[in-house]
Structure 1
Amino acid sequence: MSRSVELIVEGYVRLNDRDALEEILAHRQDLLRQLAAVTGVDPKQAITQVSEDITIIEAGLATLVPE
């Protein structure tokens, strides 16, 4: 999924859409918190993927001109 997230982030960066990037970042951060609380199964792989997504989104946000 990281390639998909990269393409989405690239699109939002091209559009200079900080709000959209912040929304998907907040969503991924919430998902990460939920995965950390999962019991009964090992969510390690999902946590790794969501963490990679967060890194990609934060890198995209870092390229935008500050408001």
Structure 2
Amino acid sequence: MSSTIELIVSAYVRLKNRRALEDMRELRRQLLGNLHSTSSIDPRKALDLVREDLRVIEEGLEQLRPPPGTLPENEWH
């Protein structure tokens, strides 16, 4: 069964919406930083979930990566 994040990433990949995936990745990275700096709760489960989201998002971005030699590398990032 697919997780919600997998369904969202899959939709953005089908739409070739790299910007949306990059935005999702940035938000997850910010969340990771916030969770690492918290001391009021045990963030382990949340950290694992966010890391899994990032893994799925990165896989989606890889699917949208242009073939080697078709686009200058600096235009991809």
User: TM bucket by the smaller chain?
Assistant: over 0.9
TM normalised by structure 2 equals: 0.81
Residue in 2 aligned with 1:8?
8
**Gap regions ≥5 residues in structure 2:** 67-75
Residue in 1 aligned with 2:52?
52
Q: How many pairs align? A: 66
Structure (1/2) with the larger helix percentage: 1
TM normalised by structure 1 equals: 0.92
Q: Which runs of 4+ in 1 moved over 3 A?
A: none
For the pair shown, which has the larger CA radius of gyration, 1 or 2?
A: 2
- Match for 1:56: what amino acid? V
**Gap regions ≥5 residues in structure 1:** none
Q: What percent identity do the matched residue pairs reach?
A: 44
Higher RCO (Cα < 8 Å, 6 or more apart): 1
